[in-house]
Structure 1
Amino acid sequence: MTQPRPTAVELLDAVRSFLEEDVMASVEGRVQFHARVAVNVLSTVIRELEQGDIAEAAERAGLVDLLGHDGPLDELVEELAGAIRDGSIDVADPALLAHLRATARADVEIANPRHAAD
């Protein structure tokens, strides 16, 4: 069941805005630093809620293509790591490199999109 408005993202964004616009403007030093950290954490959580399912689905699709079967995401990741370690997947394989780049980019887009700029 979906919760009525405000949504979780809207609530988190309201708290983030309050900290960023009201609290940070009226405090200094350690409290301001911790408010900035809280703003960054809330921003990351919001991006995770908005983009996480899409990023996970894309990662799973890439792993299915590389490994030839589906399964729980964490097990697919472990299997890929093992295949890279034992050499059954060549580290220079263009499909592997494309998958790793896309997965890393999606992770960075959620964690800190400023670092994902082209």
Structure 2
Amino acid sequence: MQDEPRPDELIKAVADFLRDQIAPQISGHAAFKLRVGINALDLVTRQLALSADSDAEELASLKTLLGKDGTLVDLNSDLAERIASGVVDLSTPGVKDHLWRTTLAKLAVDQPNYASYRREMQGSESKEAASS
């Protein structure tokens, strides 16, 4: 185990520095390129923070759904082949839920500010609070 700071903390610090200190001083095409770079750093930060847990959950879900072991890549390929061939569809128990949860996990990393994702997550939080 490495000492602090963690890689995600280092990347976030660089992104925050660029966003807060450098970006206000730049304009035009260079500012656009800087924003693209900052967005990439933000994406990597989210990947480091979220991907391990979401990948583990996706793998466990796929193993249950498909009834076999394998790697995340192999099981996703198997599910895609089953869907493409018509062996599996949204009426197959567990498929719709798996696809929905996997999509939300991927959006949490790729597009956490996507309006539909944010509405869904707010709705989920409201449901959880009501059931507590």
Please, what TM-score do these two structures have when normalized by structure 2? 0.84
- Correspondence for 1:8: 7
Rounded to whole Å, the distance in 2 between the matches of 1:94 and 1:117 is 27
Structure ranking higher on relative contact order (CA contacts 8 Å, 6+ apart): 1
- Correspondence for 2:60: 61
Rounded to whole Å, the distance in 1 between the matches of 2:5 and 2:49 is 15
Following superposition, the deviation at residue 91 of structure 1 comes to 3.0
Rounded to whole Å, the distance in 1 between the matches of 2:106 and 2:79 is 17
* Deviations 1:68-117 (CA, angstroms, capped at 9, x unpaired): 01111100001001111222213332510110011011001100101121
SS of 2:21's equivalent? helix
- Correspondence for 1:27: 26
SS of 2:113's equivalent? helix
Count how many residue pairs are aligned between Structure 1 and Structure 2: 117
Is it true that 1:71 corresponds to 2:70 in the alignment?
yes
Report which stretch shifted further, 40-49 or 84-93. Answer: 84-93
Contact 1:23 1:32 in 2 (8 A): no
Rounded to whole Å, the distance in 2 between the matches of 1:33 and 1:67 is 44
> What amino acid sits opposite 1:25 in the alignment?
P
- The unaligned stretches of length 5 or more in structure 1 are none
- The unaligned stretches of length 5 or more in structure 2 are 120-132
SS of 1:117's equivalent? helix
- Correspondence for 2:79: 80
Rounded to whole Å, the distance in 2 between the matches of 1:5 and 1:65 is 37
Following superposition, the deviation at residue 64 of structure 1 comes to 0.9
SS of 1:113's equivalent? coil
Rounded to whole Å, the distance in 1 between the matches of 2:111 and 2:87 is 33
Quickly say closer, same or farther: Cα 1:39–1:55, change in 2 above 3 A: same
> What amino acid sits opposite 2:46 in the alignment?
R
Q: RMSD value over aligned CA atoms? A: 1.1
> What amino acid sits opposite 1:42 in the alignment?
L
> What amino acid sits opposite 1:34 in the alignment?
K
- Correspondence for 2:96: 97
